[in-house]
Amino acid sequence: MKNSFKELEIILDYNFKNSDLLKQSLIHKSFDNLNNNEKLEFLGDRVLGLIISKKLIEIYPKEKEGIIDKKFANLVNKKTCSSIAKKLNIKKFMFLGASHKSLQKFADKIIGDCLEALIGAIYLDGGLKYAEKFVLKFWKKNLENSSLPLIDSKTKLQEHSLKIYKELPRYTFYKKTGPQHKPIFKTDVQIPNSKKVMGTGTSKKNAQQNAAGKLLRSLKIL
């Protein structure tokens, strides 16, 4: 196990003083329902948000808050975290219950949450300086790409629906799931002559954007 930890530390470019923190960050609740990485993930989510927020304000000092907020959401969402976690091959080092080990399609959320737990562990072990160094290294390309113009799917769908059907898209809130500190919202959207399409997100607004984007792609508009 020590060799596995050393291999992961080389990948992370960080050596833990307290290896117990590293181990705990890798324990999914399916492996241990009590002593797992959920609290570290809770912390890491906040640390990641702080670091990315600070960096965005440095990069875009004259940008409006609403634009920075959209860039922020794109940089810290489940898709981005899981994508980076896959590149680091985090799954290889995780402690998982048998039911999860046998899953053919490993849930992106699980490895994305584990990456956030690792950020929380680095923060507790080495402080904000090292957590920031880690995040800025592995989010570097995503931060560079954040300068590209964002497509506001909700606005684009609204413009299309009004132009073709003279009606606004209809959004219906479906449900809220997930833990209190990190809820997942589900909503669906429909325009005339289209099927209902569901989107998920960390807020109702984000879920609506994702639903609109999916519908636009299904209509081959986006």
For residue 171, what are the β-bridge partners? 189
3-state secondary structure labels for all residues of the chain: CHHHHHHHHHHHCCCCCCHHHHHHHCECCCCCCCCCCHHHHHHHHHHHHHHHHHHHHHHCCCCCHHHHHHHHHHHHCHHHHHHHHHHCCHHHHCECCHHHHCCCCCCHHHHHHHHHHHHHHHHHHHCHHHHHHHHHHHCHHHHHHCCCCCCCHHHHHHHHHHHHHCCCCEEEEEEEECCCCCCEEEEEEECCCCCCEEEEECCHHHHHHHHHHHHHHHCCCC
- Residue with the two structure tokens 């570097």: 140
7 is catalytic: no
CA count, 13 A, side-chain hemisphere, 48: 30
- The pair of three-digit structure tokens given for residue 52, joined into one six-digit string: 């990315």
Q: Is the dihedral of CA 55, 206, 180, 27 positive or negative?
A: negative
Contact by Cβ (8 Å): 76, 146: no
Look up 116 and say whether it is catalytic. Answer: yes
List 38, 45, 113, 188, catalytic entry: 45
Q: Which of 116, 125, 132, 188 is catalytic?
A: 116
Q: Hey, which residues are catalytic here? A: 45, 116
